[in-house]
Amino acid sequence: MTQRISIHDVDPDAYTAVMGLEKYVHAGKLDERLLAIVKVRASQINHCAWCLDMHTAEARKLGIDQRQLDVLAAWREAPALFTRREQAALAFAEQVTLISREGVTDDVWRELTAVFDDKETVLLLMAITAINVWNRMNVAVHTDLPDQPFAAG
């Protein structure tokens, strides 16, 4: 696929706006490893190669086990590899990403709020919102992958 347009080249302020949300999320107390797996899972659902390339590199740099990344799309089939918080966050991320299907169910909300406090829940929601914005931007314009894999750093 050919990149349709470079959002950054046309209007860098578009990126700046979304970066404000990212800065808010990363200034919070959620674990960066948790944020990484949520970003990867949403990017898998949205088929965003650019974000997958970037966030899997970040996840590996953060020490997330390759096996955990390998089975992330089927995390429910490998519950021993994911903590209760990770499972709750992944279920929430999937339902927020696919919001038009059934919204966020009461069961997913109950599991989420059993392991995340209100502030963490808001931070997680904003993190999921942010990655979905990035995914939609990149998929819509067919953002080209960099020539070399991301060297997260």
Domain boundaries, the chain: 9-141
Q: For position 150, what pLDDT does the model report?
A: 76
CA 34 to chain centre: 9
Residue type for position 152: A
* Contacts for 29 with CB less than 8 Å, ≥ 6 apart: 119, 120, 123
Quickly count helices (H) and strands (E) in the chain.
9, 0
Q: For position 30, what pLDDT does the model report?
A: 97
**pLDDT above 70 (res 95):** yes
**pLDDT above 80 (res 151):** no
| CATH H-level superfamily of 9-141 | AhpD-like (1.20.1290.10)
**pLDDT above 80 (res 149):** no
Long-range contacts of 59-68 (CB under 8 A, 24+ apart): 59/33, 60/152, 61/152, 61/153, 62/32, 62/33, 62/36, 63/33, 64/33, 64/36, 64/37, 68/37
Q: For position 153, what pLDDT does the model report?
A: 54
pLDDT confidence bin for 141, thresholds 50/70/90: very high
Average pLDDT score over residue span 120-127: 98
Mean pLDDT of the chain: 95
Q: For position 152, what pLDDT does the model report?
A: 57
pLDDT tens across 35-90, in order? Answer: 999 999 999 999 999 999 999 999 999 999 999 999 999 999 999 999 999 999 99
Average pLDDT score over residue span 119-144: 97
Q: For position 12, what pLDDT does the model report?
A: 92
